[in-house]
């Protein structure tokens, strides 16, 4: 696929899966042996874990919309930079125990590797601190560290061969 075809593929994926809330459409876009580097280790490998994560996101924020500000393609990678706006209806998320009905609007970066017409790898970075603040969630981590503007969050580095 060309770079423009890869970008169009990801735009269709976002529209069908996230905006039309069609979890079954994932089967047309994501390889069975996908590696989702943004997931916890137990859900990182394979289509079932990938679909579970997307389905949970759509349950917690069923009206979510992605605003794509930048779509960049290089080789077999497509990078999406933008934001996700949604109403929080989830029943639990990192200390937030009940649906708040709050609107959240957070920045995101998603990177997709496309091979043979399918997503084979995925990375994501979201502004969870901003989401916590918008939901009225905890402003302190369990160890007493602040969560808010200026807070430093350490993320385990991941790597793969390119």
Average pLDDT estimate for 81-88? 93
CB-based contact 14:137 (threshold 8 Å)? no
Query: Is 42's pLDDT higher than 80?
Result: yes
**Angle 63-91-10 from CA coordinates, rounded to 5°:** 35
State the Cα–Cα distance between residues 158 and 121, nearest whole angstrom: 12
3-state DSSP: the chain helix, strand, coil percent, rounded to 5? 30, 35, 35
- Sheet (strand 30-36) strand order: 30-36, 118-126, 103-115, 77-87, 65-74
pTM of the shown model:
0.81
Output the pLDDT for position 29: 98
Do β-strands 118-126 and 30-36 pair in parallel, antiparallel, or remain unpaired?
A: parallel
**Domains of the chain (ranges plus CATH)?**
3-135 (3.10.450.50)
Token pair listed for 107? 């920045």
State the Cα–Cα distance between residues 25 and 51, nearest whole angstrom: 10
Quick: pLDDT tens for 124-158. Answer: 998 877 887 887 765 555 555 555 444 444 444 44
């Amino acid at each position: 696929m060309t770079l423009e075809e890869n970008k169009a593929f990801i735009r269709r994926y976002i529209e069908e899966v996230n905006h039309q809330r069609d979890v079954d459409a994932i089967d047309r876009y994501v390889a069975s042996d996908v590696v989702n580097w943004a997931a916890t280790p137990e859900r990182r490998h394979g289509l079932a874990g990938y679909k579970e994560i997307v389905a949970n996101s759509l349950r917690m924020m069923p009206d979510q919309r992605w605003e794509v500000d930048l779509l960049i393609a290089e080789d077999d990678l497509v990078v999406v930079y933008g934001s996700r706006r949604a109403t929080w209806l989830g029943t639990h998320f990192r200390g937030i125990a009940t649906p708040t009905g709050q609107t959240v609007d957070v920045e995101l970066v998603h990177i997709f590797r496309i091979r043979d017409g399918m997503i084979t790898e995925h990375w994501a970075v979201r502004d969870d601190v901003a989401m916590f603040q918008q939901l009225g969630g905890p402003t302190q981590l369990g160890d007493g560290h602040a969560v808010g503007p200026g807070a430093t969050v350490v993320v385990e580095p991941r790597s793969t061969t390119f």
